[in-house]
Structure 1
Amino acid sequence: MGSIVKEKQQTNVLLVTVASQGHVNPMLRLGNLLASKGLHVTLATHEHALNHCSNKVGPVHLEFFSDGLPQAYNRQADDDFDYYMNSLRTHGPVNLSTLIRSHSRKFSCIINTPFVPWVADVAAQLGLPCAMVWIQPSTLYQIYNCFYNHLNEFPTKNNPHMNVKLPGLPSMCTNELPSFVLPSNTFPTFDSILKEVFHNIHKIKWVLGNSCMELEKDVIKSINDDGGSFWPIGPIVPPSLFGKVDKIGGDLSGFDQFKSDKESDCLKWLDKQNPKSVIYISFGSIIYSSQKQIESIASGLKKTKRPFLWIVRLPQNQEKKGFEILEEIKEQGLVVKWSPQTAVLSHPSVGCFLSHCGWNSLVESVTAGVPVIACPQWSDQPTNAKLVTDVWGVGVKLNKDSDGSLCGEEVARCVEKIMSGPISVEIRKNAVELKNAVAVAVADGGSSDRNIEMFVNEISSFS
């Protein structure tokens, strides 16, 4: 046993990701997990993040490489996203390779996220095995693999409304599929990235899924039955959701420019509310709220007369004037720019989560056992919402108007349905059962823990 532990302690792994909160957070959590198994872990991201953090977060060491753009460049601007990703694709491989060659430690494995698929080429050039962390649900991995490798038929311009049935998955209609596989997709950069990932999946030795067998058993089994090497090791969420000490911290505030409200403000307010009475509303760290959307949600909340905690993000050049309805309901709830989400979801006063269904938020909600009102926007979110309603039975979905906008009446209907309607008891029962199943998966000897152990043992053999 001593020799095995010593071997693991001499094993160095390098994690590589874009400096986006939705990617950095799960990679740091994974790094923390690998470090707990005895590995030395380094995370590399592009150097504009230097202004936001130190050279170590918990047990994870940080390194930085240039994406080819100046520090002052606005990497969050939507209209420049393609230029930014192209620059990273052009300059990232050379600069990452230089970092690895000059590093004081010899790495045994490189682990990347899908947004930097070129890392697999860097690993191959250096003679290192490469793993990819699939940060979305396993269901999306199956969909994209079937789509980009032309294994099944998908909607086309001539047949835009066809249903799709894939191995291990229920039948899905167009509005339940990820937006990038639809003929209406208007994000060519994402399409290009995903195409590169799945056309070159043979370069990846292991795919580590941010999920577990207890959440997506059928599709994971199907992926591996078809010759894949997909190992679910999640959910990769803060240990605090399982009642454990979080060495990383509750939130990577250095990557979140909107953290301006004190953590205690939200939690102190929640302490004053009744158990399972509060509607928590958040649409993630990327999506800005339009005036129409805010007014619709606010009018729905007003009808319910229930307490709420609402994270409202407005574009930086947009003031709060014109949102009089927020003033009308300010005594009913609390509106802030940021919240300590895992602490909020774990709070006994929270009764449901009105969410965009981004995967990080969704697995945090599932781990906390909180029912979900699904309000998907784009990307993987429509498919994640189907998991919520049709596969797990832990929530309901908001129906949008024909133009894609929300209606206050529909918001109120969904809130009442999930908080006190006839199916609310069944939804809460399912949410608790799923919470318990996930806790077992990540506990010592659970399905995800066993996969982590096997992965660590395999890469340790490369030392």
Structure 2
Amino acid sequence: MENQKKANGAHILALPYPSQGHINPMCQFCKRLVSKGTKATLAITSYISKSTSLKPDTVLIDTFSDGYDEGGFADAGDIDEYLARMKKEGSKTVAELIRKYQETNHPIDCIVYDSFLPWALDVAKNFGILGACFFTQACAVDCVYYYVHHELLKLPVSTLPVEIPGLPPLDLSDMPSYISVHGSYPAYFQMVLNQFPNVEKADFMFINTYYKLEETVIDEMTKMRPMLTVGPTIPSFYLDKRVENDNNYEINLFQYDSTNCINWLNNKPAGSVVYVAFGSMVSLPEKQVEELAMGLKNSNFHFLWVIKASEQENLLQKFMQDTSDDKGLFITWCPQLKVLSNKALGCFFSHVGWNSTIEALSLGVPMVVMPQWTDQTMNAKLVEDVWKMGLRVKTDANGIVGREEIEGCLKEVMVGERGNEMKKFSSKWRDLAMEAVCEGGTSDTNINDFISKLNKKS
């Protein structure tokens, strides 16, 4: 058995938090590992296994239970209840998975677990196998949470700007929303702080970013705890093309036919289209949808708008009637990477979630950003002031971004002088993303280092 195991490399059990934005980066990381001779099994919840089609070519799929096998998170009373039950049932069923593979020629050598699931490290240690913590958000965001957890940053914030080594000076509006609006979403805030209590016991710590993107804060965090950058975790087809058949993400919560929107983009001039999308969780107020619609219309650019059916019902019928298919296209979902990589794209109007931000950086697309909550406010700060490849819209006294503000930001990014500079910075980050995943780049070097150490210990 030992010789067989060594011949096929170490075996990784990857355990993502059960949501699309966490599963896809973890799965992409597994694909990279497999391309270098490592065996990887991605464990998803029983509910997700039943409700989505997830069949990567090289990564094996197995399941564990979060305690809500029939309905997932929707069946839980609240996030506290969900996390408590998932810890109980997840610990038990992940242990069963490990025991199952112990009886094969490919026993588990290491659990790579989402930082939102710290109990997985305890499971790994109980079996005497390695545990690697995987952070899906920006290093800058995790650094702020780390400072709060260790009471190096006292809440509520009383002195501004906030000074944290490795980060630019931060105003309150630049901080993650749990901090800028003290006391908001307490259960979710506790979840992000609970990433750290046992992380020092982990054998490895990964973060879904690339070194040149967050160099100063990564250097500071590494002084406290060594970490390996393994991003950007987007399909190889859009970067180095060295991982065979890695053309798409593996999980999408929505079904779509991409033919219409891609054909529409292909018929537009280069750099002429504004792409508008706010992820799967954001629901904009009716007034904000109206202001966004009028800002887009008044800017007079072509636009592709991913908008929920419920929000389309609230959208002014006159606006939709007055907007021809040639000027604007409304769609409920789309293949975002195909859109962002299309030559017609000139700007990405985004909620600036981390996965969307990494995609825009990796594909060299400048942004207008309208953050909503959690890490998005801090990502917006980085996009505008650190990476200098986008603009953050300003809200009014009621928290609404007006049509004039939207129109002005779009025009500045698409055709203004500052927009030309943003395009240059966007190209820079695209080139560095490519470097990060190629031989000699940060991501590739770190993944090779991890595999080498893992094979020695396994």
Q: CA deviation at 1:251?
A: 3.5
For 1:207, the equivalent position in structure 2 comes to: 205
Equivalent in the alignment of 2:307: 312
1:196 aligns with 2:194: yes
Residue 405 of structure 1, aligned match among 397, 400, 412 = 400
5 Å-filtered alignment, 1:31-430, equals 31-53=30-52, 56-71=55-70, 73=71, 75-76=73-74, 80-103=78-101, 104=104, 105-156=106-157, 159=158, 162-182=160-180, 184-226=182-224, 228-242=225-239, 244=241, 247-253=245-251, 255-256=252-253, 258-260=254-256, 262-315=257-310, 320=313, 323-324=316-317, 325-331=319-325, 332-430=327-425
Q: Number of residue pairs matched?
A: 450
CA offset digits 1:269-293 (Å, max 9, x no partner): 0011010000001101221233222
Structure 1 gaps, min length 5:
none
Matched, 1:22 2:18: no
> Is the 2:12–2:112 contact (alpha carbons within 8 Å) kept by the matching residues of 1?
yes
Distance 1:313 1:412 in 2: 22
Offset from partner CA, 1:52-83 (integer Å, 9 cap, x none): 45674121111111211241x25247964433
Q: Percent identity among equivalent residues?
A: 31
| Contact 1:277-1:307 at 8 Å conserved across structures | yes
In structure 1, what is the Cα distance between the partners aligned to 2:283 and 2:175? 22
State the one-letter code of the partner of 1:374: V
Which consecutive aligned stretches of 4+ in structure 1 deviate over 6 angstroms post-superposition?
Answer: none
Contact 1:134 1:208 in 2 (8 A): yes
Distance 2:122 2:324 in 1: 53
CA shift for structure 1 position 133 = 1.2
Tell me the secondary structure at the aligned position of residue 57 of structure 1.
Answer: coil
Question: CA 1:445–1:319 in 2, change beyond 3 Å: closer, same or farther?
Answer: closer
Native 8 Å contact 1:281 1:310 kept in 2: yes
1:79/1:351 CA distance change after superposition, 3 Å:
farther
- Over the residues paired in the alignment, what is the CA RMSD in angstroms? 2.2
Aligned 8 A contact 2:45 2:66 in 1: yes
What is the deviation of 1:302?
A: 0.8
Change (3 A) 1:125 1:5: closer
Q: Is the 8 A contact 1:279 1:306 kept in 2?
A: yes
Question: C-alpha separation between the residues in 2 aligned to 1:436 and 1:328?
Answer: 40
Change (3 A) 1:430 1:70: closer
In 1, are the aligned partners of 2:41 and 2:61 still within 8 Å (CA)? yes
1:442 corresponds in structure 2 to 437
1:327 to 1:403, Cα distance in 2 relative to 1, 3 A? same
Distance 1:142 1:249 in 2: 32
**Greater Cα offset, 47-56 or 340-349:** 47-56
Partners of 2:190 and 2:160 in 1: CA distance: 24
Give the TM-score, by structure 2 length.
0.93
Task: Render the CA deviation track for 1:249-277: whole Å, top value 9, x for unaligned.
Answer: 42335x41x323x1111110001101000
Structure-2 separation of matches of 1:417 and 1:303: 14
* CA distance in 1: counterparts of 2:7 and 2:32, whole angstroms: 13
**Length-normalised TM-score, structure 1:** 0.92
